[in-house]
């Protein structure tokens, strides 16, 4: 989770894209729900008091499991529903999506298993953490798509958004392909201009 959070902060600082900010907002909401559930259910951890670095003695649901499953489910939906195919490399595009999906699933299962193996949680705490995170991930994705995304153009036009260079890329089907082609085109134009000046 720490690596993911650092990655998000880095993306937000350098990309300043509204969908990324919304994704991060969903992660923060997910953590808030986890804290609330832990203090409502108050179920102890399997080895209470054995780990000195814990922020809370409650274990239901597992915050690590809830966090990673929110991230993975939201990312799956983003990968397969938000990023549409725009170039001709259909097989290559699908291959890297599937490889990334399988890798993320492996990470999610590893994180979930590690919480039980290290005696931080029981299997039920990890399971319900995963179910809660996955559910919030689905709900937040469709809330972002159906409610927030239509508002993104207006948000991007706010003076504060323009001041901080916050942008909306929701109308671009495949942002990776778009950024690649635009950057390549701009680099070639600048090379031509530089070549003309040197002659």
Nearest to 23 by CA among 167, 173, 148, 192: 148
Q: What is the pLDDT of residue 141?
A: 93
Helix (H, G, I), strand (E, B) or coil at 91: helix
CB atoms under 10 Å from CB of 157, counted, come to 11
Predicted confidence band of residue 188 (pLDDT cuts 50, 70, 90): confident
What does the mean pLDDT of the chain come to? 81
Q: Is the pTM of this model over 0.85?
A: no
- Average pLDDT estimate for 169-177: 75
Phi and psi torsions of 44, nearest 5°: -70, 160
Helix (H, G, I), strand (E, B) or coil at 138: helix
- Average pLDDT estimate for 15-33: 87
């Amino acid at each position: 989770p720490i690596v993911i959070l650092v990655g998000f902060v880095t993306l937000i600082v350098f990309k300043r894209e509204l969908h990324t900010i919304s994704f991060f907002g969903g992660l923060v909401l997910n953590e808030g729900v986890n804290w609330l559930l832990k203090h409502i259910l108050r179920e102890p951890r399997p080895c209470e008091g054995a780990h000195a670095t814990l922020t809370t003695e409650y274990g239901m649901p597992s915050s690590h499991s809830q966090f990673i499953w929110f991230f993975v489910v939201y990312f799956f939906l983003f990968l397969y529903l938000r990023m549409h195919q725009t170039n001709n490399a259909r097989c290559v595009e699908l291959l890297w999506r599937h490889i990334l999906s399988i890798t993320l699933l492996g990470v999610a299962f590893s994180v979930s298993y590690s919480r039980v193996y290290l005696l931080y949680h029981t299997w039920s705490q990890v399971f319900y953490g995963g179910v809660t995170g996955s559910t919030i991930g689905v709900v937040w994705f469709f809330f972002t798509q159906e409610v927030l995304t239509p508002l993104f153009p207006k948000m991007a036009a706010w003076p504060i958004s323009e001041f901080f260079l916050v942008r909306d890329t929701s109308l671009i089907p495949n942002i990776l392909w778009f950024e690649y082609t635009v950057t390549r085109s701009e680099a070639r134009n600048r090379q031509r201009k530089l070549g003309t000046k040197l002659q």
